[in-house]
Amino acid sequence: MGIPSTNNGLESSNGKIKEQYTLRVKLNLSSFLPTMQQMLSEWSSKSTEEPFHTFPVVSVAQEKEALTWLQSLDKKTILHWYGNSYIVPSTFNHQYNSMLWLQEYSTLPWTQWDNFPQWLKAGRLITIPMTCSCRSNLKTYVCKHAIGLMMHFGCNIVKDPVKLQNFQKRRGRPRKVGNALSGV
Ligand SMILES: [Zn+2]
């Protein structure tokens, strides 16, 4: 407690320096300077070879899992809320339909704590391309719901950002689900 650990950015870099360059030995300045030069050179070229990720990497296994989920999903339950946001009931939910889930999202009617997690697990709020309210997505930024819904809308090459931009820009395409307030 109170001391930065490896989840702190500075301590994380310090850990890498000790582990990969100085090998946990306190070097003299004369030997540390060339080590530092090598280190910076390697870090610099690495940042060019491996650019900063602006989109999560999706594995083939995750795409397969998403496809399985999509195939078992009753498409009539997909509710368009607004923009790129959709509500989908979860697989083990028997109490909520998408509309009721959305209503409770707005009105927060729970009077006991237990009612809240029940509601939370009963539906998924998915914003395409890649955001979802499920636990997996909150931890890893990837989940079968978001990928699956992208597949449903014909945008399944999730590794291709150009496709995603096209999806967001697309206008006038026939809509596969109704609006939230249309009562569908
Ligand atoms: Zn999800």
pLDDT in tens, 114-163: 999 889 989 999 998 889 999 999 888 999 999 999 989 887 654 554 55
Q: What is the DSSP letter of 81?
A: E
CA 54–ligand 1 middle distance (angstroms): 19
C-alpha count within 13 angstroms, C-beta hemisphere, residue 32: 8
Residues, CB-to-ion distance under 5 Å, ligand 1? 132, 134, 137, 143, 145
Residue 63: per-residue pLDDT: 85
CA 126–ligand 1 middle distance (angstroms): 7
Q: Is 72 exposed, middle or buried (0-12, 13-18, 19+ CB in 10 A)?
A: exposed
pLDDT in tens, 52-84: 777 788 888 888 888 889 888 889 899 999 999
Angle at the Cα of 18 from the Cα atoms of 17 and 21, rounded to 5 degrees: 60
pLDDT in tens, 87-119: 999 887 778 889 999 999 999 999 999 999 889
Residue 125: per-residue pLDDT: 94
pTM of the predicted protein model: 0.60
CA 181–ligand 1 middle distance (angstroms): 23
pLDDT in tens, 10-27: 788 888 888 888 888 888
**Rounded CA gap, 106 and 98, in Å?**
13
Q: 10 Å Cβ neighbour count for 183?
A: 7
CA 160–ligand 1 middle distance (angstroms): 20
CA 74–ligand 1 middle distance (angstroms): 16
